[in-house]
Amino acid sequence: MRPVATSASLFADVAKENAARYDHPRYVTRNGDDEMPHTLALTETLRQHLTTLVEQIGPRPTGSSGNQRAGQYLKERFAEYGWLVETPPFDCLTWEPGIASLRCDTAALHTHANPFSPPVEGTFPAFAFDSPEALEAAGSQKGRIVVLTGALSGDPFIPLNFPFVSFEEQQRVMKALIAAEPAAVIGIHPKPLFCDADFPIPSLTVDPSGAELLRTCRGELTIAIGGKTIRSIGRNVIARPRRLPSPKIILTAHYDTWFGTPGAVDNAAGVAVLLGAAALLDSAESPVEFVVFNGEDHYASPGEVQYFTGDLGQIALNVNVDGVGAQEHLTGAAYLGEAPALFKSIRAIQADFPSVVEGEPWYQSDHTAFLQRGIPALALTSTPFDAWLERTHTAADTLEGLDFERIAEAARFVARVVEDSLRGSASD
């Protein structure tokens, strides 16, 4: 076993090489400022990518026109940085929002449309349930509206056929609802409670601000759900060096968004980190593959399913970036799975990047599918988890909430992790 690369001096020549790459014409700074000109140039480049994704393209749900434009943009950028790019297509469903209204007598409740809900229109008697047992015992709810209260409205439902994780209790509730065949089901939550084209019952989410009105509403509710589910095509964007050494590091970030959000922190910022690393790294033979997933925020994760059913090859590490760059937050790096020597070496690199700190373990993104296959993962997000997380999946996840310098620093950190693996990972 060779000693693992941990000393700062070992990276001196890497730093020099990187500096030379920063001198490439695309990094020429505008003002000739020699105080960290290269850093400024990378930050500016990533700001431009982020502006395109977040403001010019906007929402990018899998299979939507914004999603297809974003995929094309990423394909062009990776190619421009010298990488071989592949964009294998897959079939998927996407959704166009329509009316989503609920009234109690004449009072309208504040609602959040549930993407992919079948349509419904009418006035129906409403009945509330707070446990799966009560729902199962009640039998048929044909011609009624079922209102989910208490724990049944606690968390958004993991889709019926979600490939990577499911909760028994939620599956039980969804199956009881399908058996009861109500005209519609209503949940109470700040965000859509269902997003699932496989769930056949029309559904709508009432904002907690309307919960009291819903509780005191005796008798009937008038509901109208529109929206349209559409067949479409999506693509992952996969970029490789011209000669790919083995084993390799897989850098991942998802470029799709939830419906109606410009998706700045979630997850244009993660995509920008990958683009930054692609600009910094040697595209001829770095031991790295970029997989920009299309489906992390889609009910069926079609991009992930396509990737993980293929031949993954020898993977030493997954670095997944999701939710970095929230203003006034540091970048949290969670070291997950078993790779003590490799993680020791990466922690030593991390020490050179003051805005990257060791973060709490988390599993709510694409790295979990690698962990489930025994592949260790380094998962980057904004730490601590707090207010920024509430803005994700909403219209408030805008460019103004981003710290571009932190995003550029995360990109330099990720690039260094890959550079070091050229020297250190063979001993792991």
Residue 254's DSSP bridge partners are 293
- At 119, the amino acid letter reads P
Q: Helix (H, G, I), strand (E, B), or coil: what is residue 250?
A: strand
At a CB cut-off of 8 Å and minimum separation 6, what does 226 contact? Answer: 97, 98, 99, 100, 119
Q: How many Cβ atoms are within 10 Å of 357's Cβ, its own excluded?
A: 12
Measured between alpha carbons, how far is 355 from 329 in angstroms, rounded to an integer?
Answer: 9
Task: Pick between residue 144 and residue 254 the one whose CB is nearest to Zn ion.
Answer: 254
Stretch that binds Zn ion, among 24-32, 38-46, 191-199, 321-329 (CB under 5 A): 321-329
CB of 387 to Zn ion, least distance (A): 16
Which residue, 112 or 254, has its beta carbon nearer to Zn ion? 254
Question: CB of 304: closest distance to Zn ion in angstroms?
Answer: 12
Query: For 129-262, where are the alpha helices, taking DSSP H only?
Result: 132-138, 168-180, 211-216
* Residue 135, beta-bridge partner list: none
The answer to whether the peptide bond before residue 18 is cis (omega within 30 degrees of 0) is no
Task: Tell me the closest approach of the beta carbon of residue 256 to Zn ion, in angstroms.
Answer: 9
Query: What values do phi and psi take at 255, rounded to 5?
Result: -105, -5
Q: Rank residues 270 and 287 by Cβ distance to Zn ion and give the closer one.
A: 270
Give the residue with the Cβ less far from Zn ion, 127 or 363: 363
Nearer to Zn ion, 210 or 276 (CB): 276
* CB closer to Zn ion out of 345 and 365: 365
Binding part of the chain for Zn ion, among 119-127, 141-149, 258-266, 286-294 by CB under 5 A, reads: 258-266
**Which residues between 81 and 100 bind Zn ion (CB under 5 A)?**
none
397 scored as a contact of Zn ion (CB under 5 A): no
Helices (H), 300-403: 302-308, 340-350, 367-371, 387-391
> Pick from 196, 304, 322, 419: which binds Zn ion (CB under 5 A)?
322
Minimum CB distance to Zn ion smaller for 304 or for 428: 304
User: Shortest approach of Zn ion to residue 114 CB, angstroms?
Assistant: 19
Whose CA is closest to 415, among 21, 36, 44, 84?
21
Per CB under 5 A, the segment of 6-14, 316-324, 336-344, 410-418 that binds Zn ion is: 316-324
Report the alpha-carbon distance of residue 283 to residue 298 in Å, rounded.
Answer: 31
Least distance between Zn ion and beta carbon 391 (Å): 12
d(CA 254, CA 271): 7
Applying CB under 5 A, among 203, 261, 267, 382 the residue interacting with Zn ion is 267
Size of the site for Zn ion (CB under 5 A): 3
Residue 417 CA to residue 338 CA, distance in Å, equals 17
Binders of Zn ion among residues 104 to 143 (CB under 5 A) are none
| Burial tier of 202 (Cβ tally within 10 Å: 0-12, 13-18, 19+) | buried
Residue 265 · residue 398 · CB < 8 Å: no
Closer to Zn ion by CB, 235 or 393: give it.
393
Quick one: which segment of 11-19, 97-105, 318-326, 394-402 binds Zn ion (CB under 5 A)? 318-326
- Shortest Cβ 97–Zn ion spacing (Å): 20
**8 A C-beta contact, residue 88 and residue 236:** yes
User: Which among 396, 407, 330 has a CA at the least distance from the CA of 44?
Assistant: 407
Near Zn ion by CB under 5 A: residue from 196, 256, 266, 289:
266
Q: Which residues are within 8 A (CB) of 175 and not within 5 positions of it... i.e. 6 or more apart? A: none
Binding window for Zn ion (CB under 5 A); candidates: 63-71, 196-204, 214-222, 260-268 = 260-268
Distance CA 321, CA 342 (A): 18
Cβ 8 vs Cβ 352: under 8 Å:
yes
Task: Return the number of the residue (211 or 389) whose C-beta is nearest Zn ion.
Answer: 389
Residue closer to Zn ion by CB (options 159, 424) is 159
Please state the closest distance from residue 323 (CB atom) to Zn ion, in A.
6
Q: Which stretch binds Zn ion (CB under 5 A): 231-239, 314-322, 335-343, 420-428?
A: 314-322
Stretch that binds Zn ion, among 53-61, 65-73, 100-108, 315-323 (CB under 5 A): 315-323
- Residues 269-308 vs Zn ion: string with x where CB under 5 A? ----------------------------------------
Of 100, 92, 99, 101, which is closest to residue 60 (Cα–Cα)?
A: 92
| C-alpha–C-alpha distance, residues 210 and 232, integer Å | 35
Looking at the Cβ atoms of 266 and 419, the one nearer to Zn ion is: 266
The residues that touch Zn ion, with contacts defined as CB under 5 A, are: 266-267, 322
